[in-house]
Structure 1
Amino acid sequence: MKKLAGLTMGAICLAASLTAQATDVAQLVVRGTIVPAACNLSLGGGGIIDYGTIRSGELSQTAYNPREEKVTSLVVNCGTTPAKFGLTLTDLQAGSKVSGILGSGYSEAQNYGLGAVSGRRTGGYSVTLKDLRSSGVTLHPIMRVGSGAWQHSDGKVAQVPSQYSWRNGSTATPASIAQLTGVIAVKAVINKAQALDLTRDVTLDGRATLVLSYI
């Protein structure tokens, strides 16, 4: 009988405890996520600039060897949602840079490496933004370093921390646009032949990462 009474008492206490937790207050939670505009970045030809076969006999032994400018298309598509965005480039072959190879008018931040063969640096190349447009309207490149002030640019692209965008007015302010088309122009310069190992094939191996970010 004591055991039964103990069980009954336990049930009563439990019922009393549950009743004590009852409340007449409830919480309403409103949730959602606002995401940036869904922009897609693409380069023509898979982003490959191909200089084909270059005969070693064409190269100067004692001077740098500039090649012709080649281009690929640049497209950014944000659907119907305008956005302010910019581009940064990171040189993945920065350790192979040949200082001064681009000549006057270029800084070392605008000099991208072409890789190295047998420990000898192949050369460098420049990247320039050209013919930027949005819905038929001409855009002009602007740039800033890090989080600094935006300023006008001639389109020559320096590596990070420099960031590039575009304006549709006279002031250096990023334009809010839904679509962008343009051209990325690349100009390679091969090292002096005497600085290369021409007893074997020398491959131009420039590689850079192009990143789209929202401003």
Structure 2
Amino acid sequence: MKKIVGLTLGLACLAAGLNAQASTSAELIVRGTIKPVACNLSMTGGGIINYGDIPSGQLQQAAFNPLAERTTPLTVNCGNTPARFGLKFVDLQAGSKVPGILNALGAGYTEAHNYGLGTASGRKTGGFAVTLKDLRASTTPLYPIMRSGVGAWQSSDGKVAQSPTQYSWRSSTAIVPAAVSQLAGTIAVRAVINRGQDLDLSRDITLDGRATLELSYI
């Protein structure tokens, strides 16, 4: 019993000491994190453009061989929050470019539009071009615009040059990126196979074009 009384008295004395030094102020802390809009970029079918089997006997030996256009849907979803964003395309097979091959597609293409199709047996397979088409936000049509690096925005016909060129879209006559919460559109690809005489046609050749799409906020 004595030990219990002594403990009780000790706590009473300590409490009295604390009351004698009571603080007359307190700190209020306000915390939170502002995060950028989370936009999800996707392409139907994983972004794979498949030309299937191409008989080697159909290839021209002394000229480039353009293939038909293939497409895949593109979507960007930012939830309910409109955002201004753009896309860059990075060629992962840049070392396999065939200079001048996109001339087979007609006028308006430069080497910046030329994406490599990989190599087979040490020989360059060909190239492909990318075009942005049918852009829209819900039912509102959008029109592609572009800039090089951090330069001024300008109108675009949708042909996609490689990074550092950046692409976005406008919804009015003003050439500035539009803020959208959902974007839908089409990525169109036109591939061109190298001259038959520059390929090893004694074995299978796989078209191996690969490019990364990078979404960035503006």
Q: Please report the TM-score for the alignment, with normalisation by the length of structure 1.
A: 0.88
Out of 164, 168, 177, the residue aligned to residue 165 of structure 1 is 168
Measure, in 1, the Cα distance between the counterparts of 2:126 and 2:34: 45
2:73 corresponds to? 73
Which amino acid in structure 1 is aligned with residue 34 of structure 2? I
Deviation at 1:108, TM superposition (A): 0.6
Q: How does 1:4-15 map to 2 (within 5 A)?
A: none
Out of 138, 144, 157, the residue aligned to residue 147 of structure 2 is 144
Residues 13-44 of structure 1: CA deviation (Å, up to 9, x unaligned) = xxxxxxxx997554433221111112111101
Which amino acid in structure 2 is aligned with residue 184 of structure 1? I
Measure, in 2, the Cα distance between the counterparts of 1:58 and 1:123: 15
Instruction: Give the SS at the match of 1:126.
Output: strand
Out of 172, 178, 181, the residue aligned to residue 178 of structure 1 is 181
Measure, in 2, the Cα distance between the counterparts of 1:209 and 1:77: 18
2:14 corresponds to? none
Which amino acid in structure 2 is aligned with residue 154 of structure 1? D
1:37 corresponds to? 37
1:197 corresponds to? 200
1:86 corresponds to? 86
1:111 corresponds to? 114
- Farther-moved stretch of structure 1 (63-72 vs 104-113): 104-113
CA RMSD for the aligned pairs? 1.5
Which amino acid in structure 1 is aligned with residue 117 of structure 2? L
Which amino acid in structure 1 is aligned with residue 155 of structure 2? H
1:58 corresponds to? 58
For the structure 1 residues 22 and 113, does the alpha-carbon distance in structure 2 shift closer, same or farther, using more than 3 Å as the test? farther
Measure, in 2, the Cα distance between the counterparts of 1:43 and 1:146: 25
Structure 1 spans left out of the alignment, 5+ residues: 1-20
1:12 corresponds to? none
1:208 corresponds to? 211
2:102 corresponds to? 102
Instruction: Give the SS at the match of 1:186.
Output: strand
Which amino acid in structure 2 is aligned with residue 138 of structure 1? P
Measure, in 1, the Cα distance between the counterparts of 2:154 and 2:68: 29
Measure, in 1, the Cα distance between the counterparts of 2:87 and 2:23: 55
Q: How many residues in Structure 1 have an aligned counterpart in Structure 2?
A: 196
Measure, in 1, the Cα distance between the counterparts of 2:164 and 2:155: 16
Structure 2 spans left out of the alignment, 5+ residues: 1-20
1:16 corresponds to? none
Measure, in 1, the Cα distance between the counterparts of 2:22 and 2:62: 90
Report % sequence identity: 67
Which amino acid in structure 1 is aligned with residue 121 of structure 2? S
Residues 88-146 of structure 1: CA deviation (Å, up to 9, x unaligned) = 11000000000110013101111000000111000000000000011201100000111
